[in-house]
Amino acid sequence: MAPLKQLNFITGNKNKLAEVRAILGSVIHVDSQAIEVPEIQGTVEEIAKDKCRRAAEAIRGPVLTEDTALEFHALKGLPGPYIKSFLDALGHEGLNRMLDSFDVKTAEAVCTFAFSEGPGSEPILFQGRTKGAIVRPRGPANFGWDPIFEYQGKTYAEMDKDEKNQISHRYKALVKLQAWLTRERS
């Protein structure tokens, strides 16, 4: 593989782009493209690989894609990779109500980055996980399910960006990606 000078991150989400740039910016230039690719149903890993393959085909070059899941332990991992659809349909309070009849409110935030060198190249996965709990919404509601995911007493929404970028599922996945990029580029 030729040394990468920049990553083409496939996202239309400016918050995700800002987090990725904040964490990877010292290692590689991160560019962004917003393209729509259909998502299959499956495990977090199957969805991430398929999305990455489709994005590489669409732009005919190297890509980085990201998928996020929120796994409720009481629901054996649901909503998982379908969290965006659940959040859109139910909102923060609806997600909370899903757990009202359960004693267990623990959850795991999962972030999976997939990198492909281009069309026909098998994606490489970098995954991070953060264990926490589902709580009633606290903090600004401007970034997905951040107001209901609590880690060590604070929701992601209550944390400032630097604090979140040191402990989040996305951070943990990006640290793995950053280490891989450093090895590949040296």
Determine whether the annotation assigns residue 100 to a binding site. Answer: no
Per the annotation, does 11 bind a ligand? yes
Does 170 show up as a binding residue in the annotation? yes
Q: Is 12 annotated as a binding residue?
A: yes
Q: Is residue 1 situated within a structural domain?
A: no
Full domain range(s) for residue 34: 6-184
Residue 15 placed within a domain? yes
pLDDT score of 114: 97
| Average pLDDT of the chain to the nearest whole number | 92
CA distance 158 to 152: 11
pLDDT above 70: residue 1: no
Q: 13 a known binding residue?
A: yes
> Per residue in 22-81, pLDDT tens?
888 888 888 888 888 888 999 999 999 999 999 999 999 899 999 999 999 999 999 999
Is the per-residue pLDDT at 185 higher than 70?
Answer: no
CA angle 103, 171, 43 (to 5 degrees): 60
Per-residue pLDDT at 22: 87
Q: What pLDDT score was predicted for residue 85?
A: 95
31 is an annotated ligand-binding site residue: no
- On whether 184 is known to bind a ligand per the annotation, the reply is no
Name beta bridge partners: 154: 151
Beta strands in 73-118 (DSSP E): 79-80, 106-116
65 is an annotated ligand-binding site residue: no
59/133 Cα distance (integer angstroms): 38
143 is in an annotated binding site: yes
State how many domains the chain has. Answer: 1
For residues 76 and 72, give the distance between their C-alpha atoms in angstroms, rounded to a whole number. 6
Q: What is the CATH number of the domain that holds 82?
A: 3.90.950.10
